[in-house]
Each structure stands twice: as C-alpha cells, then as structure tokens.
Amino acid sequence: MNGGNRMSAPTWGLLLLLGLIWGGSFFFARIAVHHIPPFTLVLLRLGLAAVALHLYLAGRFGIYQSLRRLWPQFLLLGLINNAVPHVLLFCGQTQMGAGLASILNATTPIWTVLIGNQLTTDERLTSTKLAGCLIGLLGTVVLLGPSVTSGGSVPFWALSLPILAAISYGFAAIYAKRFKGIAPPVVAAGQLTGSSLIMLPAALIVDQPWTLAAPPLTAIAAILGLALLSTAFAYILYFRIIELAGATNTSLVTLLVPPSALLLGFLFLGERIGSAEITGMLLIAAGLLVLDGRLYAWIKGGFRPDIA
C-alpha cells in the first residue's frame, strides 16, 4: 500500500469513477442550493453520510471505542474537513456554477503544501513544490481577475469562498496525520459524526429549517446524491483505491474532479465556460502535476502511470 503501487486498468477505472462522483458533488450542490439554504444542506449531507457509514461499518474496526477515546479530535477534524469547507462551498455555489467552484477548490493540494511547510518539519517546501504552487496560484489569479476588475459575472466574495474551503481542507490534511494507525473508514465515520453534531445547532439557529418550504423532488434527489453517493460511497471507494494503488496515485483524482464537474454542469445545467476558466483550470492542473512530481518523472523517463 505505497505510492509506487502499479495502477492497473481496473484501478484507473475506479479512479475515474471517483473523479466523476466527486465532480458530481458540485453538480448536486448547485441544484440543491437553489431550494435549501447552505447550513441545512450541509447538515443533511453530513448527517445522512454519517448514518450510511455507520451502517456500513456495523461496529467493525473498533469504531465505537475510537469515538469514545478520540471524540474531541474527531470534532475538530469534522469542523475543518467537513463543516467549514462545505458551508463555504455551498454559499459560494449560490453565485457560481459547479465547474468554476470545483476548479477553485482544486487548489487544495497547493494550500496543503504551503501550510505543511509552516506547521510541520517533515514537509518542507522544495524548489519543485514551490514551482508547482506558483503555477497553481497563477491559475487562481486568472480565475479571480475578472471579478477583481469588476468585469466578472460572479462577485469576488463568492469566488473567494471555495478558495477558503480549500485552505480549510489543507489544514485538515495536516491535522489528519495524527489519526495514523486508525482504520480510514473509522476516521471518515468519526469526522462525519463530529461534523454532523456541529452542524445540527448551527443549522437550527441560522436557517430555522422547520420554517422552510418542502423542497422539490429534484432537490431531494440532489441531497441523496450528495450524501450517499458523493460522500459515503465516495469515501469507501477512495479508501479502496488507496489500498490498491497507494495514496500518491490516488491523489491524481484531484485532476479529474474539475473536468467532471464542468462536463456535468455543461450537459445538465447549461453552464458555459469561458477562456478564463479554461486557462485557470489548465494552470492549476499543471501546478498540481509539477507539485506531485509526475511531470518531471514522465519527461525524464516516459509515461508510467505507476510512478510515485
């Protein structure tokens, strides 16, 4: 289970499926936020996913002992890896399409590297990583540029929210290292349980969901898609790919999510992408490839999907 594990054709298929599913989360959210306010939507996504993962685990891997022993840590991980970023993303998606939100959120590995350089001793910023970060951040600037100059259709405050979500994910990735040795499905169920407990009072206070009109069937289907497909099932699939191909190869999914979200938004929501979105996405993708080290390896030794 290391980053150098070979990526077989079936494993590539699973990785593509995961990219489509996580791209679908932006698609589902774009549908649902038109009918359900962000805090309540986050609660429904996390709560339903937590229940689904608990049913899947059925008490295995010492889930209940871990919850009793590590509940403060799960609360904090759930806050910065689920509750905060999901609220930010859903608020941002009230103003922008699924594709653009996914592109901005794809900067997560860049922020993770920058944060890790400051908060850890084992993840220092190398020249290659710095180059990848700069290329990716340039892509972010390209995406934000039109709104900063008042020439964009999406307000700057909304565009900044997926980036803030990506930064929150970056902090969560560093913090999650302390859960090493605990079965990954347990960590997933623990953080979803913690974040659901956080979002329950927040949604009740902010949205007062009992006063909301009943959502249409399309929104209900989008909620179920978010919770069961793009969260609970996606976590199970994610951990399976890590088991087969290692964490490094699995991280390639970051490059697959924005194209999936763009395609779904184009096909089913009538979203269009402009030159700024395309340029920004390509720059961020290039930055991620440089950051990951595969680009240099491919140039030096030829294309090998199993390179770590």
C-alpha distances (whole Å) from 199 to each of 68, 202, 255 are 20, 5, 29
State the helix-helix crossing angle for 108-119 and 127-148, rounded to 10 degrees: 130
Cβ–Cβ < 8 Å for 166, 103: no
**Is-above-0.95 flag for pTM?**
no
Q: How many CA atoms lie within 13 A of 111 on its CB side?
A: 18
pLDDT tens by residue, 40-85: 999 999 999 999 999 999 999 999 999 999 999 999 999 999 999 9
Q: Per-residue pLDDT for 300 more than 70? A: no
Q: How many CA atoms lie within 13 A of 118 on its CB side?
A: 6
Q: Per-residue pLDDT for 2 more than 50? A: no
Rounded Cα distance between 295 and 260, Å, is 22
Rounded Cα distance between 164 and 65, Å, is 33
pLDDT tens by residue, 223-266: 999 999 999 999 899 888 887 877 667 777 888 899 999 889 98
Helix (H) or strand (E) holding 71: helix 63-78
CB contact set of 302 (below 8 Å; sequence gap of 6+): none
Residue type, 245: A
pLDDT band at 308 (very low <50, low <70, confident <90, very high): very low
